[in-house]
Structure 1
Amino acid sequence: MPIALSLAALDSLPQTVTRPAYRRADLKPGIVHFGLGNFHRAHQEVYLDLLMSAGKAHDWAIVGAGVRDSDTAMRKALEPQDYLTTLVELGGDPAAARVIGPVVDIIPVEDRERLVETLAAPEIRIVSMTITEGGYYLDSATGRFDAAHPEIVADGRNPDDPRTVFGLILKGLRRRRDRGVPPFTVMSCDNIPGNGEVTHQTLTGLAGLSDPAFAAWVGANVAMPNAMVDRITPATTDRERQKLRDEFGIVDNWPVFCEPFKQWVVEDHFPLGRPPFEDVGVTFVPDVAPYEMMKIRILNGGHATIAYPAALMGIHGVHEAMANPLIARFLETVELTEIIPIVPPVPDTDLVAYYELVADRFANPKVGDTIARLCLDGSNRQPKFIIPSSRDRLRQGLDVTGLSLVSALWCRYCAGTDDAGNPIPPNDDSWERLRGLALRAKDDPLVFLDGLHDIFGDVGESPRFRQLFAAHLEALWARGSAAVLTGYLAAA
């Protein structure tokens, strides 16, 4: 009989399941984390669980927080199981399962005063975030803080009643300042180049809308280290829940399945201290930028490269896409000829070997990652993972045939049907806008670039990029993705 996950049931779990080697009662909060999604639980929580099981970092437990409906859904799923999570690593044979428990509480979305008071508590020394690439209120074309975003405008007008993550963090910082409590470190764990610098832009930019002096204090006193994070972590579905019941005898409302590989590179700037993460494999460096760019351009850019042709060809799984010779060769060609040559050197790292590791990770059939997940939120991912490579190459007078094809494939995907005419469900917060422009672009390809200047910026104005994009898109509509990839690879 499967066992429902809870603290009381830990001793009853199968012996094949690794359990926390620490007592929940021994943990004290030290971190508030916004966005307790699958990636966070497969990454930051795992590193903390390893430390805590080694008898360390017991005063660095996590209090979860959030502002979205998805945060409420996660709290409702985890609360009945005492905020425990079952993590299944899909790589070995058999797969390995472990229960992790660094989270001691999750504050309801609607209880903002309790959250602010928790942020103001002296024992909270780090506030971390996984709020997705779109959660930082950036103008896609410039990469700068978007002070005109409606949610930012609302928080700027009402700093005492904030509704965004950044507004709540600022209110917590203001309360600490007023009480003479030193500011916590704000640590982004999202896939954004210079994520600490971006966090700085957004926090100070929002603060400056209502109190420029406070914005200056935040900029001068709050540490916001850059970090690079990596672990492929698919979404949880009923398939994973059933697999956990069948193979491990555990009922978990929201388990996490992920690959064995994980990486975390962080700038060591934590004035109030931090857990000894280096003891469990985290790399601390003076400058994260080279590692960040390597990962975002090669891995995340690689995901975007395979996502849209695979979706248009009706392929469901990422490993199935990698088993398709056209898609695998397309990825390799774009990576080796256009992306990797403009990635700056990374200390002690062979970029081609890194790509080969990435390709092997994509091809892992046990992970069960989906093409639909890779296609999600393209309006935020394209300007962070693909368009910057195009911009760098154009500025150097280099070819962008492959990268412009990646963007054309995204446009074709946004039209809402695959090559066989099957509907593609909405997969972006801006779907209606994207779909309208993509359908018009069938007859006039440049409509997509001109209508999305906020995403493409100067890349969309480049005559060479415009010419290539238009030719690719016309070919995709006329001949289909497989034929276009075949022609591209023959020419390459």
Structure 2
Amino acid sequence: MATKLSLENLDEIGARVAIPSYSREQLSPGIVHIGIGNFHRAHQATYLDRLFSMGLGHDWAIVGAGVLEGDRRAREVLRAQDWLTTIVEQEADRSDAHVIGSMIDYIEPANPDAIIAGLADPRTRIVSLTITEGGYFLDANDNFDPSHPAIVADAENPASPRTVFGLAIAGLKKRRDAGTPPFTVMCCDNIPHNGKVTRNTLCSLAAMSDQAMSDWIAENVAFPNSMVDRITPATSHREREICRDEHGIDDGWPVFCEGFTQWVMEDNFPLGRPPLEEVGVQFVSDVMPFELMKLRMLNGGHAIIAYPAGLMDIRFVHEAMEHPVIRAYLRRVEETEVVPRVPPVPGTDPFEYFDLIERRFSNPKIADTVQRLCLDGYNRQPKFVVPVLREALKLGGKFDGLALECALWCRYCYGVTESGAEIAPNDSHWDRLVALSRKAKENPAEWLTLSDVYGDVAGNEDFRARFTYWLNMLWQNGTSNTLEAYLSAGQRRN
């Protein structure tokens, strides 16, 4: 019989799996993390758990926070198990579970006063974020969008903020007024130059109501860039059953992930930081080469396989990698179009890095879903695909496979797979995307009116021609035949 996850039951659970070697009483808060989800717990929270288990950094425990009403359910589940989480690392030949306890509290979600108080607490020296790529209020060219309704609302009512950034500004203002040094803002989202982007959004929002506050933030707050990586699927009934039946733990929200994990970060923490280098975090002077390689090759690779797999009703990522045409399409685009747009990375061969990505995508245990990879294309395409296209078009590089990827996304947003199955809405702009995709079936140029996604790329005649060619072929010949046509054309050119 499975044991309910709780502090009271830890000793019993510890007879089966690894549990924290430290006690809750040994920990004190140092980090407020906004956006408690699967990736955060598999990544940052797990690194800290390892550190605490070494007897180090016990004053850097995590306090969770969230700005959405939907975060309330997450808080309820975690509170019922004393903020503990079961992490299940899965590789083809193993499945290992352990319990982490690096989070010690969770501020009531969507409670601005409580969140601001937590940010203003002198013990809070780092505020970290996993709020997804769409949470930074950027336009298609990665510039701050001051017209977003949530930003406008916070600018007009800075004393009653609702966004992460409005809350951060309010917390920093309280610290400034009290003479408390500012916390470091540590972005852990998949965004190029994520620290710089976070700084720009925070300062730009502050300037809309208080230029002096904006200037103070720019001069006093640190925003280290970082690159984070670990494949972490969403939790479903399947994962809860495996956790219960195979590992004997009744966890309301376990996290399943691959064994591989990576964290590369700039060392810019004026109020100090946990000694994360002791548990494998790599501190460097310039994160950019690492982040561009990862975002373009891994996150971009996810997009390359997601939409053809989704259209062919393939459920899991490893099953997509078992499809010979999808796998060959991924490799061709990566090697000929993406790798040439990746800067040199110290100590890394990009082709060997792609071999690692291919193995990770093929992991049958992780059960990452194609649906998750298809999620939120409106925000992910401008981050992972369009920048590579833009550089290739500017420098005269190859881009045909990426133009096909854009056509596949458009076809996917039609809302129906090739078998006729309905595709469930999976994007905050889904209705708009479906409407444009249906117009684009007859007139592909309609899709490229998504200027907030494609920016200046949409006006490039070479790209428009190839996008049109591939979208028409997808409708005429189907996904598999279109991928084969792309691969055959590449072989003839080579």
Residues 133-181 of structure 1: per-residue CA shift (max 9 Å, x gap): 0000001x22101110000000000000000011111100000000000
What's the counterpart of residue 163 of structure 1?
162
Q: What letter corresponds to residue 487 of structure 2 in structure 1?
A: L
8 Å CA contact 2:125–2:184 kept in 1: the answer is: yes
Greater Cα shift, 184-193 or 110-119: 110-119
Residues 309-366 of structure 1: per-residue CA shift (max 9 Å, x gap): 0000110000000000000000000000000012110011000000100010000000
What's the counterpart of residue 490 of structure 1?
488
CA–CA distance in 2 between the matches of 1:122 and 1:342? Answer: 43
CA–CA distance in 2 between the matches of 1:43 and 1:264? Answer: 8
8 Å CA contact 2:92–2:365 kept in 1: the answer is: no
CA–CA distance in 2 between the matches of 1:110 and 1:246? Answer: 35
Greater Cα shift, 279-288 or 64-73: 64-73
CA–CA distance in 2 between the matches of 1:110 and 1:484? Answer: 47
**Percent identity among equivalent residues?**
56
8 Å CA contact 2:36–2:65 kept in 1: the answer is: yes
1:7-156 to structure 2, matched below 5 A, reads 7-13=7-13, 15-91=15-91, 93-139=93-139, 141-156=140-155
Give the drift of 1:399. 2.4
CA–CA distance in 2 between the matches of 1:313 and 1:427? Answer: 17
Give the drift of 1:94. 3.7
CA–CA distance in 1 between the matches of 2:212 and 2:176? Answer: 12
Give the drift of 1:246. 0.4
Residues 173-221 of structure 1: per-residue CA shift (max 9 Å, x gap): 0000000000000000000000000001100010001001110100111
8 Å CA contact 1:16–1:97 kept in 2: the answer is: no
Greater Cα shift, 9-18 or 266-275: 9-18
CA–CA distance in 2 between the matches of 1:345 and 1:375? Answer: 29
Residues 45-64 of structure 1: per-residue CA shift (max 9 Å, x gap): 01000000000110000110
Give the drift of 1:93. 3.9
Give the drift of 1:250. 0.6
CA–CA distance in 2 between the matches of 1:406 and 1:158? Answer: 41
CA–CA distance in 2 between the matches of 1:110 and 1:402? Answer: 43
What's the counterpart of residue 414 of structure 1?
413
Q: What letter corresponds to residue 55 of structure 2 in structure 1?
A: G
1:163-242 to structure 2, matched below 5 A, reads 163-242=162-241
Please, which runs of 5 or more residues in structure 1 have no aligned partner? none
Residues 413-450 of structure 1: per-residue CA shift (max 9 Å, x gap): 00001112211110100000000000000000000002
Greater Cα shift, 46-55 or 114-123: 114-123
Name segments (4+ residues, structure 1) moved above 6 Å: none
SS at match of 1:96: strand
8 Å CA contact 1:442–1:474 kept in 2: the answer is: yes
Q: What letter corresponds to residue 309 of structure 1 in structure 2?
A: P
Residues 251-273 of structure 1: per-residue CA shift (max 9 Å, x gap): 00100000000000000000000
Give the drift of 1:110. 3.5
CA–CA distance in 1 between the matches of 2:70 and 2:338? Answer: 34
What's the counterpart of residue 478 of structure 2?
480
Please, which runs of 5 or more residues in structure 2 have no aligned partner? none
Give the drift of 1:72. 1.4
SS at match of 2:389: helix
Give the drift of 1:15. 2.2
SS at match of 1:235: coil
SS at match of 1:473: helix
CA–CA distance in 1 between the matches of 2:106 and 2:325? Answer: 45
Residue 399 in 1 paired to residue 398 in 2?
yes
- TM-score, with length taken from structure 1: 0.99
CA–CA distance in 2 between the matches of 1:131 and 1:398? Answer: 33
Q: What letter corresponds to residue 312 of structure 1 in structure 2?
A: L
SS at match of 1:489: helix
CA–CA distance in 1 between the matches of 2:456 and 2:341? Answer: 18
Q: What letter corresponds to residue 111 of structure 1 in structure 2?
A: N
Q: What letter corresponds to residue 489 of structure 2 in structure 1?
A: A
Q: What letter corresponds to residue 154 of structure 1 in structure 2?
A: A
Q: What letter corresponds to residue 353 of structure 1 in structure 2?
A: E
Q: What letter corresponds to residue 486 of structure 2 in structure 1?
A: Y
Residues 230-279 of structure 1: per-residue CA shift (max 9 Å, x gap): 00000000000001110011100100000000000000000000000000
Q: What letter corresponds to residue 363 of structure 1 in structure 2?
A: S
CA–CA distance in 2 between the matches of 1:292 and 1:14? Answer: 37
Q: What letter corresponds to residue 18 of structure 1 in structure 2?
A: A
CA–CA distance in 2 between the matches of 1:154 and 1:355? Answer: 43
- TM-score, with length taken from structure 2: 0.98
8 Å CA contact 2:67–2:111 kept in 1: the answer is: no
CA–CA distance in 2 between the matches of 1:190 and 1:65? Answer: 16
What's the counterpart of residue 469 of structure 2?
471
What's the counterpart of residue 367 of structure 2?
368
Give the drift of 1:111. 2.6
What's the counterpart of residue 458 of structure 2?
460
SS at match of 2:191: coil
SS at match of 2:463: helix
CA–CA distance in 2 between the matches of 1:425 and 1:110? Answer: 27
Give the drift of 1:14. 5.1
Q: What letter corresponds to residue 412 of structure 2 in structure 1?
A: Y
CA–CA distance in 1 between the matches of 2:265 and 2:94? Answer: 32
8 Å CA contact 1:87–1:98 kept in 2: the answer is: yes
Q: What letter corresponds to residue 136 of structure 1 in structure 2?
A: Y
Give the drift of 1:453. 0.7
What root-mean-square deviation, in Å, do the aligned CA atoms of Structure 1 and Structure 2 show? 0.8
- Kindly tell me the number of residue pairs found equivalent between the two proteins: 490
CA–CA distance in 1 between the matches of 2:14 and 2:121? Answer: 39
What's the counterpart of residue 245 of structure 1?
244
Structure 1 pair 319/92, CA: closer, same or farther in 2 (3 Å)?
Answer: closer
8 Å CA contact 1:14–1:249 kept in 2: the answer is: no
